[in-house]
Amino acid sequence: MDRENRDLNEKLNKYFPGRVVRKDLTQKIKEGANVPVYVLEYLLGMYCATDDEDSINEGVNRVKAILAENYVRPDEAEKIKSKIRELGQYTVIDKLTVRLNEKRDIYEAEFSNLGLKGVEVEADYVKKFEKLLAGGIWCILKIQYYYDEELRNANPFIINSLKPIQIPNLDMDEILNGRKHFTKDEWIDILLRSVGMEPTQLEEKVKWHLLARMIPLVENNYNLCELGPRGTGKSHIYKEISPNSILISGGQTTVANLFYNMNTRKIGLVGLWDVVAFDEVAGITFKDKDGIQIMKDYMASGSFARGKELKNASASMVFVGNINQSVDVLLKTSHLFEPFPEAMAYDTAFFDRMHCYIPGWEIPKYRPEFFTHEYGFITDYIAEFFREMRKRSYGDSIDKYFRLGNNLNQRDVIAVRKTVSGLVKLIYPHGEFNKEDIEEILRYALVGRRRVKEQLKKIGGMEFYDVHFSYIDNETFEEEFVSVPEQGGDKLIPEGMGKPGHIYTVAHGDSGMIGVYKIETEVVSGTGKFERTGLGTSREARENLNTAFNYFKANKKNISGAISLNNNDFLMHVQDLQGIGMTSQLTLAAFIALCSGALKKPVLSQLVVLGSMSIGGTINKVEELASTLQVCLDAGAKKVLLPMASAADINTVPPELFSKFQISFYQSPEDAVYKALGVE
């Protein structure tokens, strides 16, 4: 392994001299100085861009000395100010934010650590480095001190020179020609090392997820979502690695800050940064009511209207947050977008704009061995390369070999093409790849988008029915389907026979969503009592079960003479399996459950009973039949019991959905009992 690493390090130093740095040096110094990685590596690239050990040690000491002398620690701000005054001039490294003081018609700088405000900045610097006005940038500054008795109001601190800590120019040909000397796997390893990760410690799929995190940095208007456990480095890349991305922590923001300020007539963060990332999505709130609407508009088209104008911007949107339960639980009880705030959590139009969903739960929690000690590109160099790649597009790179299947609508196609384009820019920036290479990328893109679509189907029902994504080979015309790993086996309705008195039904809950409910009935010796549990405060559900029990008492003879009421107690428990709130459509299913329990005969395996009934035994048809059957399918049902009254609605159900079930129609409650128990 070491031999391979050594060879790769030598190759990197050979083809990219002065552009690489040993990443463990960054870590060593990082612990002592709280500066972003790109600031450190800018300095390390200046003094340690070599593989000679002595020169490296000398360079590291030089960088440490620069940081020790010139980096301003917030607690030493007064000491540094005094130095500037006593020496007349001093060099500092600090983060600078600039605003226009319109009363005095000058630009004024604020120093993040030094704590100085109102220091005049020449307009030329502001024109050259616009980001000073938005969020600020790290700079190396020479500051003078001049106090004039007559001008007491003037600030005695003067900025003599200002140099942003960023690589001034980038030769793209150097990267594109250099890339040709590396294999696909080597290049992926270099990219991961450049952001500080050690690829030899990571599984293949994890490497791809970490690459997907970089897509927003190379692709314009790319919307990415990653939710997963804590400590997997979701926001690291947007905060530390790129000087072109900004991380909004805590979530609260305004339309003026994010998009456009009507008063100052200045564009917000989306116009000034390449990536706007929201950390902790659960806390995203807009002070303005129309915030989410404008965001949706922007995510779909890359433009938004404010006042009389239509504004365009190219910033990608990234949403990262934590999932607090296990994925299995989340999938069973709600959907994978649940951590989003309430205003968004059930907004299908918002999530439909997501191009890819990275499964954060597949990325291991960071441990020390995951951080690299080998060579990678200087962070600033790679950030500039990413930025340059935003001007190119590789979305059409699939067309030569593949076509997309007919289940993908226009939004899905755009999403897949964008993800493909982003990954090609990262892995094959020189545009040389073969069919297998592109197929691998295409499969990843399809799965990432299908994961979004699967959740939309859960939230929005039939509108998002078509989730069976596929691609077709242009030569052989073979169609390949992709699946989403977490949608697999764990169904709510298990295979095999259940216990007598246990039955599943699918109905509308109090929340208006369609959910799966399980009724469990225990029959024990007693005096004919009926007890109900699991209903919470739902009065309607309680009445439902009482109706079922009264109907059962009145009509048990029609079912079987063997049913004894006076010698048994009936205990019934209702489970809301998806946590969407109780339902008031339980009567029929409860009646079948009572009969099944009393006869000690289980209902058919993987059966769902649909429909409800009144006290007189009148059967009501199923509302929203197509969506209800879709929920049955997702829950794992194979057989469905349907009221005759719903036969007229079958034309609303897509044929491919209808064909997934063995459907039996019933006319009366008694008929439903026989069919559920498999008695013809």
For residue 513, how many C-alpha atoms fall within 13 Å in the half-sphere facing its CB?
22
Outline where DSSP puts E strands in 526-658.
Answer: 530-533, 568-576, 607-609, 612-613, 619-620, 639-643
Are 663 and 640 in contact, with CB atoms under 8 Å apart? yes
What average pLDDT does this structure show over 570-577?
89
CA distance 425 to 422: 5
Spatial CA neighbour of 512 closest among 413, 406, 355, 627: 627
Q: What is the mean pLDDT of the chain?
A: 85
Average of pLDDT values for 420-449? 92
Assigned token pair, 608: 């769902």
Percent of the chain with pLDDT over 90: 24
Ranking 75-79, 329-333, 372-376, 386-390 by mean pLDDT, the lowest is 329-333
pLDDT over 90 (residue 549): yes
pLDDT at 50 over 70: no
Strands 530-533 and 514-525: unpaired
Q: Cα–chain-centroid distance for residue 344?
A: 13
380: which 2 tokens? 């600033």
Helix (H) or strand (E) holding 277: strand 275-278
CA distances in angstroms from 589 to 281, 444, 592, 640, listed in the order given: 40, 42, 5, 12
- Residue by residue, DSSP assigns 463-478 as GG-----EEEETTT--
pLDDT of 123 above 60: yes
Q: How far is CA 603 from the centre of its chain?
A: 41
Contact indicator for 515, 580 with CB cutoff of 8 Å? yes
Contact 47, 120 (CB under 8 A): no
pLDDT given for residue 487 in this prediction: 61
* Residue 1 scores a pLDDT above 50: no
What is the tens place of the pLDDT at every residue in 475-500? Answer: 998 888 887 876 644 567 877 778 88
pLDDT band at 221 (very low <50, low <70, confident <90, very high): very high
Model pLDDT, residue 489: 42
Stretch among 285-294, 318-327, 436-445, 466-475 having the lowest mean pLDDT = 285-294
Please identify which residue in the block is written with the tokens 């790649």.
Answer: 389
Q: Are strands 375-377 and 252-253 parallel, antiparallel or unpaired?
A: unpaired
Is the model more confident about 593 or about 499? 593
Do 676 and 665 contact (CB within 8 A), yes or no? Answer: no
| Whether the predicted pLDDT of 48 surpasses 80 | no
Q: Which of 387-396, 500-509, 543-552 has the lowest mean pLDDT?
A: 387-396
Is the CB of residue 317 less than 8 Å from the CB of residue 260?
no
φ, ψ of residue 395 in degrees (nearest 5): -65, -25
pLDDT digit string, tens, across residues 59-93 = 888 888 888 788 887 888 898 889 888 998 888 98
Q: In the prediction, which pLDDT does 427 show?
A: 94
Displacement of CA 562 from its chain's centroid (Å): 57
- Residue 332, pLDDT above cutoff 80: no
Q: How many C-beta atoms lie closer than 10 Å to residue 141's C-beta?
A: 23
Contacts of 629 (CB under 8 A, 6+ apart): 640, 653, 657, 658, 661
657-662 long-range Cβ contacts below 8 angstroms, 24+ apart: 657/465, 657/626, 657/629, 657/630, 657/633, 658/629, 660/633, 661/629, 661/632, 661/633, 661/637, 662/638
Residue 460, pLDDT > 80, answer no
- 402-404/470-473 β-pairing: antiparallel
Length reported for the chain: 680
pLDDT of residue 673: 92
Find the mean pLDDT for residues 413-423: 94
Are the C-beta atoms of residues 319 and 351 closer than 8 Å to each other? no
Centre a 10 Å sphere on the Cβ of residue 366 and count the other Cβ atoms it contains: 14
Query: Pairing relation of β-strands 157-164 and 137-145?
Result: antiparallel
Phi, psi of 46 (to 5 degrees): -75, -35
What local confidence, expressed as pLDDT, does residue 291 receive?
79
Tens digit of each residue's pLDDT (9 = 90 or more) over 400-411: 899 998 888 899
The closest of 537, 562, 351 to 451, measured between CA atoms, is 351
Given a contact cutoff of 8 angstroms between Cβ atoms, the answer to whether 324 and 230 are in contact is no
pLDDT band at 507 (very low <50, low <70, confident <90, very high): very high
Looking at the predicted structure, is the pLDDT value of residue 18 above 90? no
Contact between 572 and 599 under an 8 Å Cβ cutoff? The reply is no
Please give the single-letter amino acid code of residue 37. V
Backbone phi and psi for residue 329, each to the nearest 5 degrees, phi listed first: -65, -45
CB-hemisphere CA count at 13 Å for 388? 18
What distance lies between CA 85 and its chain's CA centroid? 50
- Cα 403–Cα 405–Cα 406 angle in degrees, nearest 5: 125
Tokens at residue 624, please?
Answer: 């929203």
Give the confidence band of 149 by pLDDT, cuts at 50, 70, 90: confident
Query: What distance in Å separates the CA atoms of residue 130 and residue 548, rounded to the nearest whole number?
Result: 71
pLDDT value at position 270? 85
Per-residue confidence band for 166, with pLDDT thresholds at 50, 70 and 90: low
How is residue 479 written in tokens?
């169609």
Rounded distance, CA 205 to CA 201, Å? 12
Distance CA 371, CA 382 (A): 18
**Residue 289 reports pLDDT greater than 80:** no
189 has pLDDT over 70: yes
Q: Which of 193, 153, 215, 528 is nearest to 372 (CA)?
A: 193
Instruction: Look at residue 587 and tell me whether its pLDDT is greater than 90.
Output: yes
Query: How many whole angstroms separate alpha carbon 432 and alpha carbon 425?
Result: 11
Question: Would you state the pLDDT for residue 577?
Answer: 81
